[in-house]
Amino acid sequence: MYQLCYASQAKFQPETLLQDLRDILSEARDFNVKLKIKGVLCYADGCFFQCLEGEQDSVLNLLNKIEKDQRHSDLTILSQQYILSDSHFSDWSMKYIGRHSQVHHYFEQLGSSKFNPLLLQHESLQHFLQLLYLIPEQQL
């Protein structure tokens, strides 16, 4: 199983934010089912964090598609690695976590008053993934 995590900046207009997020999630869920990719998408404070898990070729092909998406910019890969276990997010083709008090508190512990996934290093990234796994999925 291959895992890739990235962060990026949203390029939404405030008036289309919810619809843009719904569109992204719908597209991701449809596409990910076909490629047997699992994962989580977290959005808050104008930033995305996404973790994708699946076969390496499928994940990298999806990343190529994501990099071309005009709804975000400044994509930064935070980690990419093989993982021994099954997907952490095996129940979701794309789990969604928005603004959440536990996420906010976690980033406060990292010294940020905002959601800033670029702060995530190896150990803090692993802890963040565990947190996202435990938080119930949110609906838009």
| Assigned domain for 49 exists | yes
First to last CA, the chain: 29
Query: How many structural domains compose the chain?
Result: 1
Q: What percent of the chain has pLDDT over 90?
A: 72
| Assigned domain for 140 exists | no
Find the domain containing 92 and state its range: 2-134
> Could you report the per-residue pLDDT of 77-127, keeping only the tens digit for each?
999 999 987 666 777 788 899 888 999 999 999 999 999 999 999 999 999
Q: Rounded to 10 degrees, what is the CA torsion of 81, 122, 38, 109?
A: 180
Global pTM reads 0.91
Mean pLDDT of 17-30: 91
CATH number assigned to the domain comprising residue 88: 3.30.70.100
| Assigned domain for 139 exists | no
